[in-house]
Structure 1
């Protein structure tokens, strides 16, 4: 049996973080979407249908994943939307329908499907697959997905509650480390270093640390909270609902935020109800506003439309390689595309590869300068960017050029 994970057009609602990765690589409180899907379908041959410009780097990142390649005619195909919230509902449907073909709908979006192999054997891109699946409605059994089965916008990920992990042995901590709540909901590997005068609050949810995490004195970790491997917490109030990928640097106050990985928030400032990509550098004093002074609903401008979030709290979305200058303030619901450079008070969305100066004037960043900055930052973490990754960035610069129409000419912040 084959497993096909595909992107639908909803990836555009997450462009700040999906310009540089397939939608199924978004980090959620329960881990990467792709990893969650994979766990439910062990032993399946995995295929991915994604945007063309991401394909070559994705093949390097995960060679076992067959990208934009037609599956065999002889095997059936389980097809899952890369923005699915719970793939276990698909597995249960396969059992319930005894292997019959079906399409699982979530409103006007395709959530999942089970089809015979010959139906998808000529498909090689996500748009063609989506068209095929929609054309199959009426030809095979159409089912309606339960509840809110797909992610639609970034705030959907931020509000998700992670599953409670199996109860572990109570955390054996130093007498100078305080654990509030249930010690068996604290998951800290022996490789971690927890300095004295740390408070771990597991009253509202589990606190989970990856391997080799260091937590310095003066930190309060509030669950639910997951800190990725090789990260460092330098003090402050972290949580609730903070989820980071690997090799992050965290300090001061951060809550209700996903930080994808390799990002740096080492200094004072507040980040709340926000989504942070990879390789983001958040300078000292940077703050995201997440609540209007009217306590009203936050609206977010996405392209030419204004989206009503239905939420009282929502901060910002910062794409990969965004850098902020000291004391940057982002108003509620602001979006910054990959490689944006922010300063002052940010009152508008910032396109990819765009800087904003202290007079709130936007200017286009030079590609070659940004590539050199990228290499410098990654070397600080002992990583050299691959040529495929650099090529992806070059393609993205051209793909997003129209978004920078009307901004000022080049400026460089690289001496």
Structure 2
């Protein structure tokens, strides 16, 4: 059994921490939860994060822990990303010089973990932790900064785990480069598609489609039932049930997100159920070629990254022709349709120009319900009630600028 723990730093990974635990973020080819399940060979039973996420429920994600973490459970820091390998032995795992996961000898009350301040090292009596290969996420932008390396590591290991054979170089698509292309049974690779695996491998999952006249540049992961079409898709991790049209570079789509039209998106993250209108374009490089600054809950900070686009929260919507400057943050549930929004847009904002009004909660819920129904997902009564609470929390969050 695995329980996922968001420490205080993970709870500041906005705009995503408003609506989801870090275990349900995509890091490399997999959700953080999926990665640890493979490494530990165990199922997930729950998560511990900020109290506003107590009602989080999504597909096969485990629920919040409400009482205590049972003895015998693995307790995992969600900012730790182990390399996919066979399950390690031992009761404490180190990545670098920090404890990333512990197997609990005794139950741990929820109160010990609730504020995110507990170091997992304090919860183990193991004197010889086992070192495992991996990395830590220090900031939300590390998901992008480490993406290329993470995909290059993940894809061949996942192919081995899932017993996928590399596509022959003589297959119908045009292939450049020396790395492998893995195509799961049930995927569709149309003729006249191009795979450039000069810089890394490609993995296309079951039910996914790579349409003709698409150039897929590795390392790249295309998730279950997703479609990529008619442009260059490079060094990206595309989750399940996504639509990608137009140029996409070094970006993450958590899942069920739509970039259905032309427009460049680079070094960006699209939350679940995000939708980009036709012609939405992100800038990912400043005219000065200097490091990108980004809004965070502790103020605008220098990321040290030369390339960084936009972080779109869950259910964020961008109108047609939107132009986003380098290092933008669009809060969860925001629906904006002006020419160029400010660099930080608060959750559940609405409008065609700043200062924005509030996206009315019933209108937001109706929009979310209609979008989800198009992917055969129901926004049930419990989910509607939880999103109503999140809406109230989001519009009251004074950390965000209100332009």
Q: TM-score, normalising length from structure 1?
A: 0.83
Q: Does 1:117 align with 2:100?
A: no
C-alpha distance in structure 2 between counterparts of 1:291 and 1:336, whole Å: 18
1:54 corresponds to which residue?
53
1:179 corresponds to which residue?
175
Q: Deviations over 1:17-46 (max 9, x none)?
A: 232211111111130111111122224774
Contact 1:260 1:276 in 2 (8 A): yes
C-alpha distance in structure 1 between counterparts of 2:189 and 2:122, whole Å: 56
- The alpha carbon displacement at 1:149 in A equals 3.5
Q: Does 1:156 align with 2:169?
A: no
Aligned pairs for 1:282-321 within 5 A:
282-321=276-315
C-alpha distance in structure 2 between counterparts of 1:406 and 1:201, whole Å: 42
Q: Does 1:188 align with 2:183?
A: yes
* SS at 1:344 equivalent: coil
- The alpha carbon displacement at 1:222 in A equals 0.6
1:350 corresponds to which residue?
345
* SS at 2:387 equivalent: helix
2:239 corresponds to which residue?
245
Q: Does 1:221 align with 2:216?
A: yes
1:399 corresponds to which residue?
393
In the alignment, structure 2 segments of 5+ residues that lack a partner are: none
Q: Does 1:373 align with 2:367?
A: yes
- Root mean square deviation of aligned Cα: 3.2
1:82 corresponds to which residue?
78
Greater share of residues in helix: 1
2:67 corresponds to which residue?
69
Q: Does 1:126 align with 2:113?
A: yes
Contact 1:104 1:142 in 2 (8 A): no
1:203 corresponds to which residue?
198
Contact 1:7 1:50 in 2 (8 A): yes
- The alpha carbon displacement at 1:203 in A equals 1.6
In the alignment, structure 1 segments of 5+ residues that lack a partner are: 409-415
* SS at 2:54 equivalent: helix
C-alpha distance in structure 2 between counterparts of 1:310 and 1:286, whole Å: 25
C-alpha distance in structure 2 between counterparts of 1:155 and 1:190, whole Å: 33
Contact 1:230 1:246 in 2 (8 A): yes
C-alpha distance in structure 2 between counterparts of 1:13 and 1:199, whole Å: 39
Length, aligned pairs only: 391
Contact 1:16 1:318 in 2 (8 A): yes
C-alpha distance in structure 1 between counterparts of 2:131 and 2:362, whole Å: 46
More deviation, 322-331/146-155: 146-155
Q: Deviations over 1:228-260 (max 9, x none)?
A: 111122210011x11111111111111000011
Q: Deviations over 1:319-350 (max 9, x none)?
A: 01111111101111110111111221123300
